Amino acid sequence: MGKLLERLQDPSRSGVYRAASDAALLEATRGTPLDVVPIELSSDVFGVLAKSLDLPEWFGRNWDALEDCLSDLSWRKAGGTVLILRNCEALDQDRLGILIDVLASSAEFWAGRGKPFFAAFIDPARKLSLPELFRGS
């Protein structure tokens, strides 16, 4: 798990990826300063994200507000962020595409500030056209 953890701690590798399962991610990050947030997606994407990420009350439950919150994260003290997103099939293609775009923008924002930010969609069937986070995923 050393190489996976090394990757997750490297801000320059921040981004949106897919993984076949969350087991290796959870094991690799256990006991690290990374803020690992498992998220079970549903049709109420904003509600799920607000609860999972403990978003502030000012979160407006829209895509722009989500991007604003993800480029702040001051209420989550950590050495970096790893979002583990499960059940992506709960979202239609448009909403999933927008979510991926928002997460990619957030990853770019944090990478530019030297802090890792990863979003890993658990996709065992490899349906998403995202790069794999690590070999064996």
Domain map (residue ranges) of the chain: 2-122
pLDDT score of 136 more than 80: no
CB 111 within 8 A of CB 117: yes
Q: Specify the pTM.
A: 0.94
Task: Determine the topology of domain 2-122 in CATH.
Answer: Barnase; Chain D (3.30.370)
Contacts of 27 (CB under 8 A, 6+ apart): 1
Q: Report how far residue 61's alpha carbon sits from residue 98's, in angstroms, rounded to the nearest whole number.
A: 14
Q: Report how far residue 50's alpha carbon sits from residue 61's, in angstroms, rounded to the nearest whole number.
A: 8
- pLDDT tens per residue across span 12-71: 999 999 999 999 999 999 999 999 999 999 999 999 999 999 999 999 999 999 999 999
